[in-house]
Structure 1
Amino acid sequence: MAIEPELLRVACHYKDQRMNSIISVALTARLTDEPNVLAIHVEQARAGWLPLPFKKVLEQITQAALDAGISLEWTEQEGETVALVTIPQQHDSYRFSVIHLDAVELRKGELYVAGRTEAKAADQSESDVGLPK
């Protein structure tokens, strides 16, 4: 994996009966105007120097997201296919806070994420605080 300004490159070795190659994918990511929604654009997908079938790449990304329990929706923005990934503001695993993403940036060698948390609404009785769900 290589993180460049505004670009994430991911690569791996792939081998099956038909192919033995390095698969590489280049992505961009940005927050949308919707709260906690990340837009991910597949800039490039290749097997070595050869472009991979775009539809197949999207299917594989969709399956990987499903397997990981990630909410992903494909849409078109300015003629480009974009994955919208929703980072839940509230989740049982967050326990006592609500998450708000303020910035997501790809910088040289780093993924910069900024945000804030706030206390959940008082929907629990005090006797529930600290108890596992």
Structure 2
Amino acid sequence: MWMRLIKRLLLVGALLVGSLGATAFWAHRETKKVPEFYERAIAAPPPQDVAESVEQLESDVQKLQDDVAQPGLWQARFAAEQINAWLIDQLPKRFPTLEAKGLQEPRVMIEDGLLMAAARFKDQRLDAVLSCELSVQLTDQPNRLAVSIKQIRAGALPLPLSQFKDRIKLIASKTNLNLQWETRDGESIALIDLPDQYPGHLDGSVIIESIELADQHLMVTGQTGDLQSSTFAPQGEIYKLAQLDDEPDSETLSDNGSPRDL
């Protein structure tokens, strides 16, 4: 009897080890896969003049800051190609510790309402492309954004967002952004409050009215003026914030009031 029991225990142990080994092999294989959008981003030829693209991006950012400081309407448009040029040229110079820790070849792509970012991470324990996809919507409150992180992956292996929530919130706090997490239909949404006034801007409140991610461009529009006299008129799909009397599974509303998932 004891010999039979021992044999069964050994068999169970062998099956368990085999199962864990197969799972580890599968997980290792999944981490070696490369996201399709990252392959396209890496294969795309860099701008003919990377330094010029970086200069143009920084000039566009400065122009946006100047426009926002004046009363009236403003808009800005940033190309993924320019952002990637900045990542290639400036990120290693301004954040050398990232490269020292194993971060290589970061890239972004912008299409179909998504901002997709990825980079290769290589150290003694891991060699994989880490990637994430996110979408951004305005909410029914001025300057509160709803950011949905669609996927975080190591290669093709999904990573739980719960592992990163505290770190994301800490990074936001270091940049003076208030971030709260909300769960909607099983999906985690980061609610981010952008300041409506900036140091040195005394001409009124800054209100964002649209954010669009499409055709390899990030586009943002808004206005600066007296908040009491300005009318908040958000454009595009709107994320309806949960109210105290809302059901827990309340849905996102589009700008025409019909239910829509984020």
State the TM-score, normalizing by the size of structure 2.
0.43
- 3-state SS of 2:220 partner: strand
Deviations 1:61-114 (Å, cap 9, x if unpaired)? Answer: 223222322221111123311001111112324343310111111112111111
State the TM-score, normalizing by the size of structure 1.
0.80
Alignment partner of 1:4 out of 85, 88, 111:
111
For 1:84 and 1:93, locate their aligned partners in 2 and report how far apart those are by CA, in whole Å.
Answer: 26
Q: Which residue of 2 aligns with 1:101?
A: 208
Q: Which residue of 2 aligns with 1:125?
A: none
- 3-state SS of 1:62 partner: helix
The reply to whether residue 52 of structure 1 matches residue 163 of structure 2 is no
**Structure 1 unaligned runs (5+)?**
122-133
For 2:179 and 2:151, locate their aligned partners in 1 and report how far apart those are by CA, in whole Å.
Answer: 19
For 1:107 and 1:93, locate their aligned partners in 2 and report how far apart those are by CA, in whole Å.
Answer: 32
- 3-state SS of 2:174 partner: helix
Q: CA deviation at 1:53?
A: 2.5
Instruction: Report the count of equivalent residues.
Output: 121
For 1:77 and 1:88, locate their aligned partners in 2 and report how far apart those are by CA, in whole Å.
Answer: 24
Pair 19,93 (structure 1): closer, same or farther in 2 beyond 3 Å:
farther
The structure that is helix-richer by fraction is 2
Q: How does 1:1-133 map to 2 (within 5 A)?
A: 1-118=108-225
Deviations 1:25-69 (Å, cap 9, x if unpaired)? Answer: 000110010111110001001011111122113233223222322
Pair 12,87 (structure 1): closer, same or farther in 2 beyond 3 Å:
same
- More relative contact order, 1 or 2 (CA 8 Å, 6+ apart): 1
Moved more, 63-72 or 30-39: 63-72
- 3-state SS of 2:140 partner: coil
Contact 1:89 1:99 in 2 (8 A): yes
- 3-state SS of 2:164 partner: helix
**% same residue:** 35
Pair 56,16 (structure 1): closer, same or farther in 2 beyond 3 Å:
farther
Contact 1:45 1:57 in 2 (8 A): no
Query: 4+ runs of 1 displaced by more than 3 Å?
Result: none
Q: Which amino acid aligns with 1:110?
A: H
The structure that is strand-richer by fraction is 1
- RMSD between aligned residues: 1.9
**Structure 2 unaligned runs (5+)?**
1-107, 229-262
Pair 93,3 (structure 1): closer, same or farther in 2 beyond 3 Å:
farther
Point out the structure with max Rg over C-alpha.
Answer: 2
